[in-house]
Structure 1
Amino acid sequence: MINFDKNKYLPYGKQKITRSDISAVVRTLKSNFLTQGPKVPQFEENLSKIVESKYAVAVNSATSALHIACLALDLKKGDRLWTSPISFVASSNCALYCGAIVDFVDINPRSGLIDENLLEKKLETAALKKELPKVIVPVHLAGTSCNMEKIYKLSNKYNFKIIEDASHALGGEYKNQPIGNCKYSHITVFSFHPVKIITTGEGGIATTNSSFLAKKMTELRSHGINKNESEFFSKEEGLWHYEQINLGFNYRLSDIHAALGISQLKRLRKIIEERNKILKIYKSLGKNLKISFLEIPEDCKSAVHLGIIKLNTDDPEEHKKIFKNMRMKNIGVQLHYIPIHTHPFYKKLGFKYGDFPQSEIYAKKAMSLPLFPGLNKKNQMQVINYLKDLIK
């Protein structure tokens, strides 16, 4: 447990490492394999069972997973990828890595998720202009699934591929099924950064039900190299032989990282329940404040990666003032996220303020409160009391 002290910093998120986690990593450090050993396949298998996907490909970050997912779906120069402006830049950068064109679909301000109705309208217009996207990346902000059934139906009509950016959402559910089972997508990506649901230190994974996509991503994560003798182009070489068949990358996850992931996965269910409990307490403590929490649709069980509130103010200066004063109290509130299209780099691509108004309004109201395993009610009361004083 964290005992709040005004001289200590209470972050918006952090990892929780147990003795079992440490023992698992130490055992791997003492083993014969620090990388390219048995732990990565074991981690992939364990996670696949949990999310009910056929395949999983572990890599060194969710950013890498998004990149190779795009490449596996043959996203290339001149193609288009659409995603949400309210996400980390990796959700759109993955398209630029492939030479593709990026665009965005604005959010539903109540949930912070991509607005499927705006998506449908934008697709109708794009079809007339013959500028349809090849890939769409719905972002499961704060651990809550987008309306994937609707997006999937649109994909059948407009012939685009779907990569779920579920970096926040491991352990969450959509329509009573685990996020990551790819029922409504081609590939789902998870992150294992230390502030995420579970951690491998740094790491990510892509799940899929396609053997072709899994094989392609497996090759791409390791230099584009194939070691399957039955598929070699040269049949008469020696036992040392392997072949590079694509331009790939060194995106491998080490056995050390995977060992930590295997250990953390064992308590995933408890982590999700604790996160939901913490959010419920926040909602109870803050029910009389001039704030609102992001809506979680009834057909979703959120992984609750973040505890995002929106201040009921139209004054961005008040948002800045409250944010600054919370930080001065050593409470590590954060904004998730700066709308991607407003970053200087994306402005150079032609985006500007006003392009996605709901995302811009959201960013002037939103604030992530501390939320992580081990956060106790006393800490939460302190956070809400400070917030109450500042809002007054």
Structure 2
Amino acid sequence: MKSYGRQTISAEDERAIIECLRSDFLTQGPKVKELESNVAAFCGADYAVAVNSATSALHIACLALGLKSGDTVWTSANTFVASANCARMCGADVDFVDIDPDTGNMCVEALAHKLADAKASSTLPKVIIPVHFSGQSCDMKRIAELVAPFGIKIIEDASHALGGQYQGKPVGYCEYSDISVFSFHPVKMITTAEGGMALTQNKQLADTMRLYSSHGIRKVENDPSMPPWYYEQHLLGFNYRMSDLNAALGVSQLKNLSAWVTKRNELARYYDACFAGTDVQPLVQKVDGVSSYHLYVIKVDPSKRLTVFIKLRELGVGVQVHYIPVYQQPYYQALGFKPLPNTQSYYSQCISLPLYPTLSIEEQDSVVHLVRQALEQS
């Protein structure tokens, strides 16, 4: 079955892992620092904190910004549940901003209206988490301009967007945010098997996130008054650390990132050309930037979507749906959320097609043919 996404592992990746296995470090060691340094340099950020998942990165990002019970976070419901769960894990409330149905990203107009209503009712959020869905950046400049008068902090959930660009700068540069978060899950741009990273231009935020990621413990070094084994716990942290083994894979993978993003864009353009003039509607690239194309999403007639999905799966095309709106999950339904019109409309139509760097044109042609066939027979 042609999956919607898959990792690409080379002989060089395998050698990097074997070298790490034979080294003195499997857990915390030089490869973690090397990956942090390399990703930070790639994105133009001053600081990077590697952790064991993007979920962990989102959690420590919220904690570093002081999120707590009584606070509120706004995010998109068109995302994986972690984008909202990170707030709940801090004891904070969550609310959702509707999306632009053409992109799947947070709608700036909907955000403006929601901010006006929240100001009038004194219910403004402390943090907003725009999600760069499918690899295309949200319109971060406009979002930042809207929230700045209220002192609202911004975390970019860039889990889909490593290697993408916004206004000529890499996603992760944090020009319009406090923190950006990446995922290194196998279907993302690069993989560490499991892993994530938080980037920032703020040293204090970086230091605090690093503390939270490692039990809240700080080693005391270069202090002659203390024994060499001395360390201190300064806050209640977590074991969110990335291992050197995972990082070694990431360091090797990062060398291919630019080429893989270029290939993903080529594949996406080919899909676009194949579906031009049909009833299939690909997502639109709207902002001034370059998508990393983690996903290639199409929209089809809602009355046909389920049938098309099942037929494609039966024909060996590993399609997926991204995403069930977070507010439809039982946990969030129990909190009383109501559907958002654009998010609900998008969800009723979306299907993610196979897209990964080793996908061939022949395989794409087969996918396109089977999509058209499934639609005609539905």
Shorter-chain TM-score range = over 0.9
Question: For residues 287 and 146 of structure 2, what CA distance do their matches in structure 1 show?
Answer: 21
Instruction: Give the corresponding residue for 1:389.
Output: 373
- Could you tell me the TM-score, scaled by structure 1's length? 0.94
- The one-character-per-residue Cα deviations of 1:316-356 (angstroms, maximum 9, x if unpaired) are xx11000110011111100010000011111011113xx31
Instruction: Give the corresponding residue for 2:316.
Output: 330
**Aligned 8 A contact 1:109 1:362 in 2:** yes
**Aligned 8 A contact 1:326 1:332 in 2:** yes
**Code of the aligned partner of 2:23:** S
Aligned-residue offset at 1:300: 1.5
Aligned-residue offset at 1:184: 0.3
Structure 1 segment 40-189 matched on structure 2, within 5 A: 40-189=32-181
Aligned-residue offset at 1:160: 0.4
- Could you tell me the TM-score, scaled by structure 2's length? 0.98
Aligned-residue offset at 1:277: 0.6
Structure 1 gap segments, 5+ residues each: 1-8
- The one-character-per-residue Cα deviations of 1:21-67 (angstroms, maximum 9, x if unpaired) are 11111111100011111110110000011000000000000000000
Match of 1:299 among 288, 302, 308: 288
**Code of the aligned partner of 1:367:** I
- The one-character-per-residue Cα deviations of 1:196-228 (angstroms, maximum 9, x if unpaired) are 000000000000000000000011110000113
Question: For residues 109 and 275 of structure 2, what CA distance do their matches in structure 1 show?
Answer: 31
**Aligned 8 A contact 2:156 2:177 in 1:** yes
Match of 1:361 among 330, 338, 345: 345
Match of 1:75, SS state, is coil
**Code of the aligned partner of 1:341:** Y
Aligned-residue offset at 1:236: 4.5
Match of 2:74, SS state, is strand
**Code of the aligned partner of 2:345:** I
**Aligned 8 A contact 2:2 2:354 in 1:** yes
Structure 2 gap segments, 5+ residues each: none
**Code of the aligned partner of 1:183:** E
Match of 2:192 among 186, 193, 200: 200
Aligned-residue offset at 1:158: 1.6
- The one-character-per-residue Cα deviations of 1:176-211 (angstroms, maximum 9, x if unpaired) are 110000000000000000000000000000000000
Question: For residues 206 and 239 of structure 1, what CA distance do their matches in structure 2 show?
Answer: 30
1:191 matched to 2:183? The reply is yes
Instruction: Give the corresponding residue for 1:248.
Output: 237
Q: C-alpha root-mean-square deviation of aligned residues, in Å?
A: 1.1
Question: For residues 66 and 323 of structure 1, what CA distance do their matches in structure 2 show?
Answer: 31
Question: For residues 278 and 308 of structure 2, what CA distance do their matches in structure 1 show?
Answer: 13
Question: For residues 212 and 54 of structure 2, what CA distance do their matches in structure 1 show?
Answer: 14
**Aligned 8 A contact 1:123 1:158 in 2:** no
Instruction: Give the corresponding residue for 1:345.
Output: 331
Question: For residues 262 and 236 of structure 1, what CA distance do their matches in structure 2 show?
Answer: 37
Match of 2:2, SS state, is coil
Match of 2:80, SS state, is coil
Q: Percent identity?
A: 48
Match of 1:162, SS state, is strand
Question: For residues 113 and 80 of structure 1, what CA distance do their matches in structure 2 show?
Answer: 20
**Code of the aligned partner of 2:236:** L
Aligned-residue offset at 1:154: 1.6
Instruction: Give the corresponding residue for 2:358.
Output: 374
Question: For residues 89 and 99 of structure 2, what CA distance do their matches in structure 1 show?
Answer: 24
**Aligned 8 A contact 1:290 1:391 in 2:** no
1:288 matched to 2:283? The reply is no
Aligned-residue offset at 1:291: 0.9
Match of 1:82, SS state, is strand
Instruction: Give the corresponding residue for 1:3.
Output: none
**Aligned 8 A contact 1:75 1:95 in 2:** yes
Q: Number of aligned residue pairs: give it.
A: 376
Question: For residues 372 and 359 of structure 1, what CA distance do their matches in structure 2 show?
Answer: 26
**Code of the aligned partner of 1:122:** K
Match of 2:199, SS state, is strand
**Code of the aligned partner of 1:385:** H
Question: For residues 341 and 228 of structure 1, what CA distance do their matches in structure 2 show?
Answer: 44
Change in CA separation of 1:256 and 1:175 when aligned onto 2, cut-off 3 Å: same
Aligned-residue offset at 1:373: 1.1
**Aligned 8 A contact 2:68 2:92 in 1:** yes
Instruction: Give the corresponding residue for 1:5.
Output: none
**Code of the aligned partner of 1:179:** V
Match of 2:3, SS state, is coil
**Aligned 8 A contact 2:137 2:287 in 1:** no
**Code of the aligned partner of 2:109:** N
1:265 matched to 2:249? The reply is no
Question: For residues 236 and 53 of structure 1, what CA distance do their matches in structure 2 show?
Answer: 35
